[in-house]
Amino acid sequence: MISSLPPAPPPPSAPQAPPDDHYKDSCGYSVEIAKQFLTLASAGLAFVVALAIGSQGPSVGGFYTAVIALCVSILCGLLYLMTVVGHINKERNYDVYGLQFKVVALSQIVAFVVAVGALAYLVRLKVGGHGVSQETRLVVSANGKTYECVLPAQHDVSMAVLPSGEIRVEAKK
């Protein structure tokens, strides 16, 4: 009597993760990155407004550039988050690497980088005064007369009182 042995069980295999888990993790990471950019853009917008309130410089274009770019970044971030949530709800999957997601996310990042560049320019103007035309008015009263002149920015000034009582002011670079 030959008895047959039952077939050997298959070798144990490593537990397989459900196919959506890596998409779910990637989706979570991309949403977190979008939220971080939203937070930074909102803080940057508050910074630009505070800088604009305390500024007297002529760099209005820099302020508008920064504000518009930060607003675009915020709107793109919100649009990205709403698109991801809608996709997950409608499609029942976490694959958020389609073209529509990439375009919105890239737009958010590019707008944020443009805003940071504009902010760096504004801060450089505010702190260093480079490129800003700051003129100073000099008013001198002598011998019952008042003299007023405008001194150009970043120039040395020499002043002399002439024997006739006139005041001569010369600006030298």
Specify the pLDDT at position 55. Answer: 65
Specify the pLDDT at position 19. Answer: 56
Does residue 15 carry a pLDDT above 60?
no
- The pLDDT confidence band at residue 117, using thresholds 50, 70 and 90, is very high
3-state DSSP of the chain: CCCCCCCCCCCCCCCCCCCCHHHHHHHHHHHHHHHHHHHHHHHHHHHHHHHHHCCCCCCHHHHHHHHHHHHHHHHHHHHHHHHHHHHHHHHCCCCCCCHHHHHHHHHHHHHHHHHHHHHHHHHHHHHHCCCCCCCEEEEEEECCEEEEEEECCCCEEEEEECCCCCEEEEEEC
Which of 14-23, 36-45, 117-126, 142-151 shows the lowest per-residue confidence on average (mean pLDDT)? 14-23
Does residue 173 carry a pLDDT above 80?
no
Percentage of residues of the chain with pLDDT beyond 90:
29
Q: What is the pLDDT of residues 25-53, one digit of tens each?
A: 888 898 999 999 999 999 988 888 887 77
The answer to whether the pTM exceeds 0.75 is: no
Q: What is the pLDDT of residues 55-77, one digit of tens each?
A: 665 577 888 899 999 999 999 99
Which of 31-40, 110-119, 154-163 shows the lowest per-residue confidence on average (mean pLDDT)? 154-163
Q: What is the pLDDT of residues 74-109, one digit of tens each?
A: 999 999 999 999 998 898 888 888 999 999 999 999
